[in-house]
Chain A
Amino acid sequence: MAKKKFVVGCFDDEDLLFPAVKKVRTVGYKIHDIYTPFPVHGLDHAMGLRETSLHTAGFIYGITGTTTALSCISWILTKDWPLNIGGKPHFALPAWIPITFELTVLFAAVGMVLTFCYLCQLAPFVKKHRFHLRATDDLFVMVIECTDKTNTDDLKSFLSNAGAVETDLQIAEADWWVGSYDKEDVPFENTNEIAA
């Protein structure tokens, strides 16, 4: 839990955003994140984000499900409580395949959703700092992480030159914390932030 210094630049056009991202990266500033009202195609490539490993996690959850299902059913139906079902052998593999499949899908799906929420820092009762409320409406909000040596005024004017309609210096918590939006601040009643 550490507070960090951020410079926030808001763009009102996605065509301006892409060249700006390129410029910011060429100069060497560190982009913390970009908040957009809708998924912008190709922005992850422009930002240089690495390919997600969510699918690898999904594969591992999947084979965990397969193993769980097969080992459970085979232990129960051959060792723990063998039953004669329609004269079939106790180790009746074809009959177990549907259950194995379902459990594989269940483990993979639930595991991936939870992992996704963790990676995006989403959960009930937790709060993340919002850099600009209009990021959910019509602004593309680029957040740049500053170090001790960053000249924030230079950075602000740099962003303005790159096409930002609004720039801002914020000292904010970078991670998530337990809290609630309702109590601490109410969206769209904060007149300061809405005035653009």
Chain B
Amino acid sequence: MASIKEQFEIPSKLKTWSYALIAVGALALLAGLFKSGMSNDEHKQAIFIGTIMYNTIFWTLVCNASMFFICITTLAMGGWQQSFRRVPEAISTMVPIFGSITLVVLLYVAFSGKHQIYHWLDTDAVNNDPILKGKSGFLNLKFFVFWTTLAIGLWTVLGYRMRKLSSEADNGAFDNVSGAKFIFKNTVGASMFIAWFGLTVGSTIPWLWMMSITPHWYSTMYSWYTFMSSFVSGMSLIALWVVYLKNKGYLEYTNQEHLHDLGKFMFAFSIFWTYLWFSQYMLIWYANIPEETVYFKTRVQGAYKGIFFFNLIINFLCPLLILMKRDAKRNYTLITFMGVLILFGHWIDFYQMVMGSISKDQVTLGWLDFGILSLFVGLMILFVAKALASKPVIAKYHPFLKESIIHHT
């Protein structure tokens, strides 16, 4: 083996940038807090909390998608991702951090005694409303708090176990027996994470956190739709970090072949996201039942029309047309561009999913949204870089590493 740069050193420029982003974000947060968060207008307060809420939910789910990626590739006995596996691992260390922010925000919403965001928290309203009464087995304060805490807690714990297991590949070469044992332990850990992930992100969590903002409306596809949104953004984030590290001269074993496969994920799951978008929309459009169309009324015919269709253009048409060619998926510049575009597009998607229900008549997208986005991006850059620096960037004794080195598509 030629000498490889194992230890990531955080460039001072990256630190400066992340601190600047965090500072801008903190300023925006404070300004928002004084301007609308502490105002007497409950609607303004709801907009402020909602803005923080969709940002923190988005980034938690996106970073959690990294751990999902590690686990599915582990379960599929995939080898190709080994050369850059420490990158999704580092991104997944954000789950406890963003998860705690999400937990604090959601618990605040649950216990604040205001019902602007979650109407079903209002017990008087629920008792007089047969539909909400029927849903109260799922949509109630106790279950919300319990399930939210458990979800974030188990993502953290199970993800931590996977990352700890991965460190064993730094200690020394495996022999046949210990190597097989290592792979088996990885498989068990990954299965546990996937099972829990399916119960939370794949089904209940998006219903509980976001769909319940319009409590009368329901769509069984909603969770898959949200999950795909976060997964395709998660793949873009991994690709962006891989390109960044390649630019800095790390990840010697990762090349265009790996980038091509990451690009395929970004391309394919953008299409799958659209499939879910369309399936959810068309069935409701076709049946045209008032209780189902209530969600789309504000988005297709109301104030959010522009954002709703803009969302479809950047999350479907752009990936479809730009990433279709093989050369595009092997081009570092184009992948970077598309990575940023897809992340932005799905951030906008989360924006309209949450804010389209909180502020129905007026699009609130403005300085507060971008300020809080910059806070989260800054935190993400800083802590992912720290996590990358805390371990060798290549797990050089992993039994499947050779498969990744000779990988070609």
Q: Which A positions have Cβ atoms within 8 angstroms of B?
A: 51, 55, 59, 86-87, 94-95, 97-98
Residues of chain B in range 276-327 having any CB-CB distance to chain A below 8 Å: 278, 281-282, 285-286, 288, 324-326
Supply 17 A–B pairs (Cβ within 8 Å), ascending by A.
A51-B326, A55-B325, A55-B326, A59-B324, A86-B286, A86-B288, A87-B288, A94-B278, A94-B281, A94-B282, A94-B285, A94-B286, A95-B282, A95-B286, A97-B278, A97-B282, A98-B282
Q: Which B positions have Cβ atoms within 8 angstroms of A?
A: 278, 281-282, 285-286, 288, 324-326
CA distance A97 to B281 in the complex (A): 12
**Assuming A94-B278, A95-B282, A97-B278, what are 14 further A-B pairs, CB within 8 angstroms?**
A51-B326, A55-B325, A55-B326, A59-B324, A86-B286, A86-B288, A87-B288, A94-B281, A94-B282, A94-B285, A94-B286, A95-B286, A97-B282, A98-B282
- The residue on A at minimum CB distance from B283 is A94
Report chain B residues within 8 Å CB of A87: 288
- The residue on B at minimum CB distance from A42 is B408
CA distance A138 to B282 in the complex (A): 54
CA distance A86 to B285 in the complex (A): 11
Question: Chain B contact residues: over half helix, strand or loop, or mixed?
Answer: helix
Report chain B residues within 8 Å CB of A59: 324
Of the listed residues A55, A94, A97, the one surrounded by the most CB atoms of chain B closer than 10 A to its CB is A94
Report chain B residues within 8 Å CB of A86: 286, 288
CA distance A59 to B325 in the complex (A): 10
- The residue on B at minimum CB distance from A51 is B326
Report chain A residues within 8 Å CB of B285: 94
CA distance A98 to B278 in the complex (A): 10
CA distance A135 to B251 in the complex (A): 42
- The residue on A at minimum CB distance from B282 is A94
CA distance A59 to B282 in the complex (A): 26
CA distance A56 to B268 in the complex (A): 18
Report chain B residues within 8 Å CB of A55: 325-326
- The residue on B at minimum CB distance from A97 is B278
- The residue on B at minimum CB distance from A56 is B325
CA distance A165 to B324 in the complex (A): 44
Shortest A60–chain B CB gap in Å is 13
Report chain A residues within 8 Å CB of B324: 59
- The residue on B at minimum CB distance from A45 is B408
Which 10 A-B residue pairings sit nearest by Cβ, starting from the closest? A94-B282, A94-B285, A97-B278, A94-B281, A95-B286, A97-B282, A59-B324, A94-B286, A95-B282, A86-B288
CA distance A55 to B288 in the complex (A): 40
Shortest A194–chain B CB gap in Å is 36
Shortest B276–chain A CB gap in Å is 13
CA distance A98 to B281 in the complex (A): 13
CA distance A94 to B287 in the complex (A): 12
Report chain A residues within 8 Å CB of B325: 55
CA distance A94 to B288 in the complex (A): 13
Report chain A residues within 8 Å CB of B278: 94, 97
- The residue on B at minimum CB distance from A62 is B324
Of the listed residues B286, B288, B325, B326, the one surrounded by the most CB atoms of chain A closer than 10 A to its CB is B286
Shortest B271–chain A CB gap in Å is 11
CA distance A94 to B326 in the complex (A): 30
Report chain B residues within 8 Å CB of A94: 278, 281-282, 285-286
CA distance A98 to B326 in the complex (A): 26
Report chain A residues within 8 Å CB of B281: 94
CA distance A59 to B326 in the complex (A): 13
Report chain A residues within 8 Å CB of B288: 86-87
Report chain A residues within 8 Å CB of B286: 86, 94-95
CA distance A59 to B285 in the complex (A): 30
- The residue on B at minimum CB distance from A95 is B286
- The residue on B at minimum CB distance from A85 is B286
CA distance A30 to B282 in the complex (A): 57
CA distance A177 to B281 in the complex (A): 53
CA distance A153 to B342 in the complex (A): 61
CA distance A55 to B286 in the complex (A): 35
CA distance A91 to B324 in the complex (A): 29
Report chain A residues within 8 Å CB of B282: 94-95, 97-98
Shortest B388–chain A CB gap in Å is 33
Shortest A92–chain B CB gap in Å is 9
CA distance A51 to B326 in the complex (A): 11
CA distance A117 to B282 in the complex (A): 38
Shortest B194–chain A CB gap in Å is 30
Shortest B16–chain A CB gap in Å is 43
Report chain A residues within 8 Å CB of B326: 51, 55
CA distance A8 to B285 in the complex (A): 65
CA distance A98 to B288 in the complex (A): 18
CA distance A98 to B282 in the complex (A): 10
CA distance A55 to B324 in the complex (A): 10
Report chain B residues within 8 Å CB of A97: 278, 282
- The residue on A at minimum CB distance from B275 is A101
Shortest B359–chain A CB gap in Å is 26
Shortest A67–chain B CB gap in Å is 16
- The residue on B at minimum CB distance from A87 is B288
Shortest A153–chain B CB gap in Å is 39
Shortest A97–chain B CB gap in Å is 6
Shortest A150–chain B CB gap in Å is 35
CA distance A98 to B286 in the complex (A): 13
CA distance A50 to B311 in the complex (A): 38
CA distance A86 to B289 in the complex (A): 12
CA distance A94 to B278 in the complex (A): 8
